[in-house]
Chain A
Amino acid sequence: AQSVAQPEDQVNVAEGNPLTVKCTYSVSGNPYLFWYVQYPNRGLQFLLKYITGDNLVKGSYGFEAEFNKSQTSFHLKKPSALVSDSALYFCAVSKSGGYQKVTFGTGTKLQVIP
C-alpha cells in the first residue's frame, strides 16, 4: 500500500525567509509525486509534479521541490516566502496507477508572518 506523510501540521516562517514544507512517501516502484495548494474557501490548485528526470522540479509561484529517492522525500521549497503564500499545502503520491490511485497527505498549513 502506498502512503504519504506530512509530518508538520503547521509551518511558520517570516516573510522573506526561505521555506520548506516536508513530505515523505512510501510506494513500491517509481513514484509520481505532486504538490497542490489550497487557499481559504477554494479548491486545490496544482503546483508541481515529479514524474521522471531531474530531481529538482520547478513549479508555479516560485516553488520548487526536490525528489530524494534514498530518503523517499519530496520537500517543497521556496527561496523567499511571501505573505500571500500562506495556505494549506498537500503532497500526493501515485504508483503510476492513474489518478484513481493517488493518495493525498493530510496537509500542512503554511503561515508566513509579515
Chain B
Amino acid sequence: NAGVTQTPKFQVLKTGQSMTLQCAQDMNHNSMYWYRQDPGMGLRLIYYSASEGTTDKGEVPNGYNVSRLNKREFSLRLESAAPSQTSVYFCASSASTGRLNSPLHFGNGTRLTVT
C-alpha cells in the first residue's frame, strides 16, 4: 500500500527559481490537500482540492499555485521561490473534505530550502 507519495523528498532552490512538488494517492480519495509545516506553527493549509476539477485556497496560499491533474494527482507549484517558503511540505488526502470520520492520510513530506 503506497498511500500518498510525494516527490522529491528534498530540494534546494535559489531565490526566484521555480519548481513543482508532485503528489499522488492510490486510495481513490476525492479530496487532496497541501500543507506546510514550520517550527512552532503546526501545519497550515496552503490549498486543497475537494474533488477532481476543483481547487480552493487555504490559510496561506500566497506564492503558490496548484493543479489537480486527475483524481490521483495534485501538484503544488512555486513560481518564484522566496526564502520565506523554506519549509516542509506535506500532501494529504481524504475520502472527502466533509467526512471527518474518515482520517487524513499524509505523504512523507518534501523538505524545501530556498537560499
Contacts and interface: CB of A to CB of B under 8 A. Distances in A.
Interface of A: 32, 34, 36, 41-46, 49, 51, 90, 94, 96, 98-100, 102-107
Interface string B29-67: 001010000001111110010100000101000000000
A100 B42 contact: no
A98 B99 CA distance: 7
A100 B58 contact: yes
Contact of B48 (A34, A44, A99, A105): A99
A100 B48 contact: yes
Contacts of B90: 43-44
Contacts of A100: 33, 45, 48, 50, 56, 58, 97
B82 to A, nearest CB: 23
A99 B41 contact: no
A44 to B, nearest CB: 5
Contact of A44 (B43, B50, B100): B43
Contact of A94 (B100, B106, B109): B100
B104 interface: yes
A99 B94 CA distance: 8
Interface residues of B, number: 27
Interface string B75-115: 00000000000000010101001101101111111000000
A57 B106 CA distance: 22
A43 B1 CA distance: 15
B76 to A, nearest CB: 15
B42 A44 contact: no
Contacts of B33: 99-100
Contact of B109 (A42, A46, A99): A42
A-B interface, 7 closest residue pairs, ranked by CB to CB distance from nearest: A43-B106, A46-B103, A104-B42, A98-B97, A104-B43, A106-B42, A44-B106
Contacts of A102: 45, 100, 104
Given A43-B107, A46-B104, A98 B43 contact: no
A41 B94 CA distance: 21
Given A94-B100, A99-B48, A99-B94, A106 B107 contact: no
Contacts of B103: 34, 46, 49
